[in-house]
Every structure is written in C-alpha cells, then in structure tokens.
Chain A
C-alpha cells in the first residue's frame, strides 16, 4: 500500500526566512508520480508540481524548489524568502502510474505553514 508521511504538522516562520517542508513516501511501485499541492484558507487546491519517479533532477520555480531523493524516498519542498502569501496548508501526494485502473492519489496529512510579517 502507498503511504505519504509529512511529519511536520505546523511550521511557523518569519517573512523572508527559507523553509523546507518534508515529505517521505512508501510505495511498492517502481513507477509513480509525486505531487505537491497548496491549499490556502479559501480551500481550493492549487497544483504546484508533479515529478515522475524516473526523473530525479531537482527543480526550481521562482522561490520554490523541490529535492527528490529516490534513495531515501523523499520529496522535499523548499520556499526561499518566504512571504505572508505563502501561508497555507501544503500537501504532498503520491500516485502510481501502472498499478491500477483508477490511479488513486494518496495524500499526506499536510503541513500548515504560517509566515508571519
């Protein structure tokens, strides 16, 4: 069975600090997708990134960066120079690629990030 663990329940930082959100996953599949979503107070999930298990290259998008380490089954997310608007719940998720007809997403429990001015 798939499992996603986000050990940090809540993180509070001061604006402009860098912050890393941890994500550790378990899967028996050799091919899978990893995702990060942002859920602001409005509730709507905002897609941030999808990473294929074959692609271990780290990715940077503006202030966001992701570190995929297959050897440790981790897919960590770093926000550089955090801003108040980054305050939200962040979910890491895993989806198998070939494991079944419905390709279900498995979500972690989420990390509440609060960025204080």
Chain B
C-alpha cells in the first residue's frame, strides 16, 4: 500500500519568493495536516483539512495558506519567504483527522 507522498523532496528558494508543496494522502484517508519541523525541534502544527474544509490552523502568519482538493490531496503555499521558513515540511494523513496521523517523508525547504 502506498503511504503518504510529498513533492518535491528538496527545494531551494531565495527570500521573497513563493513556494508550493504538495501532498497525497493514504488511499481512503480524508484528512490532511501540515506541520513545520525546524532542525532539533518537534513538528509544529500549521493546518488541518478534512473533507476539503479547514478544521484547524496553528500559530503561523497569513503568508502560509493551504487547500485540499476533491481527491483529498493538498497543497501548502508560502508567500514572501523568509530565512526562518527553512525547515522540513511534513504532511500527515488520517481517516478522520483525529487518531492515527501518518506522516509522509517531508519536503526539505531551504531559503537563501
């Protein structure tokens, strides 16, 4: 069975640019969550979507936005990139957005 997939694997951008990260959940899962993990820290919650509706938002600026598509895949968009946005961005999928969140391999974003 395919797990959670994310693309791209790695990304290098410069300050002020925009980035789009993509995630495909496990087949049958209807919820996708996004997390940011800075080196040496645990993941921090950014967004959760369930059935294409936003269910939760973490303490991140409006430069961060996301959406979920009818096939339950999701995009995370970050505008006006800052050096501090450099991190591993993780996508997690679950059946209903509660217990049992399964993570993808992540997208490593470097902002220069």
Bound pair: A and B? no
Give me the interface of B with A, judged by CB distance under 8 Å.
none
Give me the interface of A with B, judged by CB distance under 8 Å.
none
